[in-house]
Structure 1
Amino acid sequence: MKLVNINFLSIAVFLLIGITATAQKSERQYNNWSIEAQTGYHIPLAPNKFVELGDYDGAFKQFQAGVRYMITEKYGVRAHYSFLNFENPSEIVEGGVKFNRVAIEGVANVWKVTNVEGGFKENIGLLFHLGAGVTFANPSGSKGTDHIGNIIVGFTPQFRITDNFALFADVSYIANIKQHYSFGGELYDINYEHENGGLVNLSLGLSVSFGDREEHADWYYDED
């Protein structure tokens, strides 16, 4: 089942990228592609059964890498992989769980969608993202893998360093659908009944755009 899920999502990613890559080849004035990497702080919110959630938040216990393709100046798609390690640093309480997530999201440039005016847009951007994914969770006390559905929503402020490099922050909420193990690694129910939960992810990262045009879609404004 795990292999089937991975293969299905991989095929979906490549099909989506292939479709968007051919959607806009005529007379484009900007670069469409960018890659990004980020790390930061995660805060589990729910469920809190068996654990004190404050023991399982953590800085720099996560990593995310993704690729983004802007179909137009305003809208694009992004695929990413994330790793999160929920680990209790206490010597008294052991346990935890490792999350490996793959996801696909739609992306919108907030300034352009809402027609915000101002010269600050040349160097400061704001993206909104919304999508879905699958998490493969490996609890410390089990050899099995928990398959968790995800809904992801967040905002990404950006600061342009050069035409090709940008620093960004990201604030995301990830809803966990059908989570069977706690953040401490315990099984919620012997009958394998699930819980729904979620977490907040705060991160900083670097985005690199590439292509044969001067600017990326995030920073391109048509001068009428």
Structure 2
Amino acid sequence: MNRFAKKIIIMKRILLVLSFFILCMNSFSQEKNDSISVNKAKTNRWSIDFAFGSSRGIKPYNDGYFSSENDKVLGELNLNSVGIGARFYMNKSVTFKSDLTFDRFTPNNVKSINFDVAQFRLSIQTMFNLNTVFGINHTSRFNLPIHLGVNIASLKTIKSSENQVIGSPDYILGVIYGFAPMYNVSKNVALFVDLSLINNFRQHHTWDGNISDEKNNLNGQMSAISLGLNFKLGKKIQN
């Protein structure tokens, strides 16, 4: 084999090694870019909520105890609830939500026997954005999510001059569902109103803090309306 042929073979081998090296570098760069894209996609999947509002125990109550005046439409709004929550956005339509709320129940009816009861409740819910159903653009400032989940609560009478003996708290389990329309004030801040109904199927106490009658069969119901702010964390989601 002459020297020219040997040089050709050497050049081919060098080109082959360079091609392999360039291919590896390109693959590594692509993986890095993909990883960055994935990380960007996750930067804005979280948000936090702050809310306050009015909650009301609908039933049960013992004889002589009343929640609100009967002639009031939808009862009477009383600012007795405050909460904090977090959301995780799976995609444009589905969101997971969890929140912790404090409620304080007192009578708004002058005919009622006085009571003072506090409740801490934790919910874990799934939210579905109805924008998908109604064909509303996801870039719209308005979002129409409905939510459904599990509600866990602790209900206990607050000690006062009229209630010196306080029993053990009632641990409650139920289902929460509702509607929470949202208006995006900016890219990272949104204003929302939440209308929720809670049906309990493990509630031993009444909303006035006493033992519930057996005929109630451990069932209870309450409503809640709240106004809040939602703050998105990180940059805009890269879908």
**Shared fold (TM-score, shorter chain, > 0.5):** yes
CA positional deviation for 1:35: 0.2
SS in 1 for 2:61: coil
CA contact (8 A) 2:66 2:113 kept: no
| 1:29 Cα offset (Å) | 8.1
Aligned-residue CA RMSD (Å): 2.8
User: Retained in 2: the 8 A contact 1:47–1:195?
Assistant: no
In the alignment, the residues of structure 2 paired with residue 147 and residue 138 of structure 1 have an alpha-carbon distance, to the nearest angstrom, of: 9
| Cross-structure match for 2:150 | 132
Q: Which residue of 1 aligns with 2:171?
A: 147
* Unaligned stretches of 5+ residues in structure 2: 1-36, 70-74
Quick check: which one's strand share is greater?
1
Moved more, 171-180 or 86-95: 86-95
| Counterpart selection for 2:136 from 106, 117, 123 | 117
Aligned residue number for residue 122 of structure 2: 102
Measure, in 2, the Cα distance between the counterparts of 1:137 and 1:177.
14
Note the C-alpha offset of 1:96. Answer: 2.9
Q: Secondary structure at the match of 2:144?
A: strand
Deviations 1:128-180 (A, max 9, x none): 11100210111245331101102000111111111000000010001122212
TM-score normalised by the chain length of structure 1? 0.74
Distance 1:92 1:153, change over 3 A: closer
Distance 1:199 1:92 in 2: 18
Q: Structure 1 regions of 5+ residues with no counterpart?
A: 1-23
Q: What are the superposed Cα offsets for residues 99-155 of structure 1, whole Å, 9 maximum, x if unpaired?
A: 10112111111102x151359x51111111110021011124533110110200011
Contact preservation (8 Å) 2:61, 2:212: no
Report the more deviating stretch, 58-67 or 164-173: 58-67
The residue aligned with 1:163 is 187
Match of 1:49 in 2: 62
Counterpart-to-counterpart distance in 1, 2:130 and 2:43: 18
Residues 211-222 of structure 1: pairs in structure 2 closer than 5 A: 211=234, 213-214=235-236
Map 1:86-97; keep pairs closer than 5 Å. 86-88=105-107, 90=110, 93-97=113-117
Give the number of aligned pairs. 190
Match of 1:166, SS state, is strand
Distance 1:183 1:96, change over 3 A: farther
Q: Is the radius of gyration larger for structure 1 or structure 2?
A: 2
> 2:136, 2:155 → 1: CA distance?
44
**Residues of 2 paired with 1:183 and 1:88: CA distance?**
10
2:53 to 28, 33, 40: 40
Provide the rounded CA distance (Å) in 2 between the counterparts of 1:99 and 1:177. 16
Q: Does 2:208 correspond to 1:208?
A: no
How far off its partner does 1:25 sit?
3.8
Match of 2:99 among 80, 90, 93: 80
Q: CA deviation at 1:204?
A: 0.5
CA change 1:180–1:155 in 2 (3 A) is: same
Indicate how the Cα distance of structure 1 residues 180 and 194 shifts in structure 2: closer, same or farther if over 3 A, else same: farther
Aligned-partner SS, 1:28: helix
2:76 and 2:204 mapped to 1: Cα distance? 19
What TM-score, normalized to structure 2? 0.70
CA distance in structure 2 between the partners assigned to 1:32 and 1:70 by the alignment: 5
Given that 2:178 and 2:197 are in contact with CA atoms closer than 8 Å, whether structure 1 keeps it comes out as yes
> Partner of 2:50: helix, strand, or coil?
strand
